[in-house]
């Protein structure tokens, strides 16, 4: 019996080594497939969640070690070392900026309010921030238009003051009241922002989800809206997602800060040297 157990352990180690090898090869093959899909797609929607920012040091929520997962397990929360305003974008954010520059990101929908997409240089007009932005104020009356917080001298605005919701600044366009754009639990999402996100989901024939567990609605309906039409859905997220059963390609273990720059290089290589029919995968 003991011998049998040892034998089993040895086999398990060998399996692990084999699995690790095939895992690396598997990731490479999946990236190749995705790079081809990106080159073939007419309209590409990117969709990001908290997982893209965890590599910058912002806390994750529903990941294996996320705030809410830890809460469920009765574990204490991680201490956040760096204030949110001082956190910098990581290679995944910068890669998406480059995808936009080469025409491979037609629109970006984000569940994050950490400002890292704009900080990385992503254009505001191609971005829908479903949950708002810690650095921007929203006008209630002109289509959820937002403005940089630093343009307003009112010192009441700021991370620790946001719950006050005092409407003392006026929109420079319409004169309407401005408020903190970040959505709290129980707040409804900004209608115009949500509509724009769904419009792009309808238009996209490839949707790439980065760092979202796709479990928060209605946001999670955005990648699903596209999928209903039978187009391609790719999910990069550590941990399970609500859309695992319907996605066409799944990266579930790799850090997106490593994946996206690699993917960008593959796409650039394809664009510069398109593979011939015979060698194309």
Catalytically annotated residues: 131
Beta strands in the chain (DSSP E): 44-48, 107-110, 127-129, 136-139, 146-148, 178-180, 206-210, 232-236, 249-251
Burial class (CB in 10 A: 0-12, 13-18, 19+), 235: buried
Of 9, 80, 142, 246, which one interacts with Zn ion (CB under 5 A)? 142
Is 171 an interacting residue with respect to Zn ion (CB under 5 A)?
A: yes
Is 173 an interacting residue with respect to Zn ion (CB under 5 A)?
A: yes
DSSP state of 137: E
What's the min distance (Å) between Cβ of 145 and Zn ion? 6
Is 176 an interacting residue with respect to Zn ion (CB under 5 A)?
A: yes
Interacting stretch for Zn ion, rule CB under 5 A, among 18-26, 154-162, 167-175, 180-188? 167-175
Minimum CB distance to Zn ion smaller for 91 or for 190:
190
Report strand pairing: 127-129 vs 136-139. unpaired
Minimum CB distance to Zn ion smaller for 157 or for 251:
157
Is 174 an interacting residue with respect to Zn ion (CB under 5 A)?
A: yes
Is 139 an interacting residue with respect to Zn ion (CB under 5 A)?
A: yes
Is 177 an interacting residue with respect to Zn ion (CB under 5 A)?
A: no
Quote the CA–CA distance of 177 and 44 in Å, as a whole number: 35
> What residue has token string 């997962």?
69
C-beta separation of 251 from 27 below 8 A:
yes
Is 167 an interacting residue with respect to Zn ion (CB under 5 A)?
A: no
The contact set with Zn ion (CB under 5 A) reads 139, 142, 171, 173-174, 176
């Amino acid at each position: 019996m003991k011998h049998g157990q040892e034998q089993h352990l040895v086999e398990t180690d060998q399996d692990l080594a084999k699995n690790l090898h095939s895992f690396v090869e598997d990731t490479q093959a999946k990236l190749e497939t995705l790079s081809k899909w990106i080159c073939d797609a007419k309209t590409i929607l990117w969709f990001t969640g908290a997982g893209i920012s965890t590599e910058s040091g912002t806390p994750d929520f529903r990941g294996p070690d996320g705030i809410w997962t830890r809460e469920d397990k009765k574990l204490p929360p991680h201490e956040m070392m760096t204030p949110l305003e001082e956190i910098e974008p990581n290679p995944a954010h910068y890669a998406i900026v480059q995808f936009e520059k080469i025409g491979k990101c037609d629109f970006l929908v984000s569940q994050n309010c950490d400002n890292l997409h704009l900080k990385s240089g992503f254009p505001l007009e191609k971005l829908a921030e479903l949950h708002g932005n810690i650095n921007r104020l929203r006008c209630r009356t002109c289509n959820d238009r937002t403005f940089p917080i630093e343009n307003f001298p009112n010192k009441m605005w700021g991370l620790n003051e946001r719950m006050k919701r005092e409407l003392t600044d006026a929109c420079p366009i319409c004169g309407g009241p401005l408020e903190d754009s970040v959505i709290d639990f129980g707040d409804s999402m900004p209608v115009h922002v949500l509509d724009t996100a769904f419009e792009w989901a309808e238009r996209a024939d490839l949707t790439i989800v980065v760092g979202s567990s796709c479990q928060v609605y209605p946001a999670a309906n955005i990648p699903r809206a596209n999928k209903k039409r039978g187009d391609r859905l790719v999910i990069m997220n550590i941990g399970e997602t609500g859309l695992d059963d319907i996605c066409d390609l799944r990266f579930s273990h790799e850090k997106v800060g490593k994946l996206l720059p690699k993917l960008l290089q593959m796409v650039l290589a394809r664009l510069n040297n398109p593979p011939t029919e015979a060698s194309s995968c």
